């Protein structure tokens, strides 16, 4: 339930405050902060009924939702390239924390693969945030912006491929002999290593 509502609340928050031409007043900002705080307390209270890793996952979801909502609110209250970047990174961090916590239900190689997949998704999210930040960075000439965006996209693609390769290579660890060698070679080829 928390997972589904996280996306709805984030979209609603951005939708309410990102309307062109309308600035958020200090009073609106304070009210939104209080709503975020009370939502966080309610989400945490729902987690209290759970046990074990389910409770840990629930708490990570609640914490992530809270951090994302705060970052989205800040981006809406004082819009800037940096605030937008921080909101995107908060979203990637929250998803990573939840995904990593879910991996605790596993053990051995499946857990290792799960963690590497979560890390690959995290890297991809953060790299995408860097690209958007480069695209929205103010004060650059058209040529400077194009060069910076192209370089950022290239770096992002490299970092993402590297993380995806590590996840693919981790899957190969469950194999042995020639099958493992072929798996590693296929992963290298697939991710340009």
Residue 14 has pLDDT above 60, yes or no: no
pLDDT tens, 82-117? 999 999 999 999 999 999 999 999 999 999 999 999
Q: What value, to the nearest 5°, has the Cα angle with vertex 98 and ends 96 and 101?
A: 105
pLDDT in tens, 18-70: 434 467 899 999 999 999 999 999 999 999 999 999 999 999 999 999 999 99
Task: Considering only CA atoms, give the Rg of the chain.
Answer: 20
DSSP string, 6-18: HHHHHHHHHHHH-
pTM: 0.82
| Conformation bin of residue 98: beta by default, left when phi > 0, alpha when psi is -120 to 50 | alpha
């Amino acid at each position: 339930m928390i997972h589904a509502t996280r996306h709805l609340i984030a979209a609603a928050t951005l939708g309410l405050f990102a309307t062109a031409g309308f600035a958020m007043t200090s009073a609106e900002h304070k009210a939104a902060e209080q709503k975020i705080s009370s939502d966080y307390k309610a989400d945490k209270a729902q987690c209290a009924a759970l046990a074990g890793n389910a409770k840990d996952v629930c708490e990570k979801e609640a914490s992530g939702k809270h951090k994302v909502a705060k970052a989205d609110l800040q981006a809406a209250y004082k819009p800037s390239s940096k605030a937008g970047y921080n909101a995107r990174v908060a979203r990637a961090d929250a998803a990573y924390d939840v995904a990593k916590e879910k991996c605790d239900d596993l053990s051995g190689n499946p857990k290792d693969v799960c963690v590497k997949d979560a890390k690959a998704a995290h890297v991809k999210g953060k790299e995408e945030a860097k690209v958007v930040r480069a695209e929205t960075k103010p004060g650059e000439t058209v040529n400077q912006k194009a060069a910076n965006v192209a370089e950022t996209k290239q770096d992002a693609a490299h970092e993402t491929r590297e993380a995806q390769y590590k996840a693919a290579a981790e899957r190969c660890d469950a194999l042995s002999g020639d099958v493992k060698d072929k798996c590693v070679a296929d992963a290298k080829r697939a991710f340009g290593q």
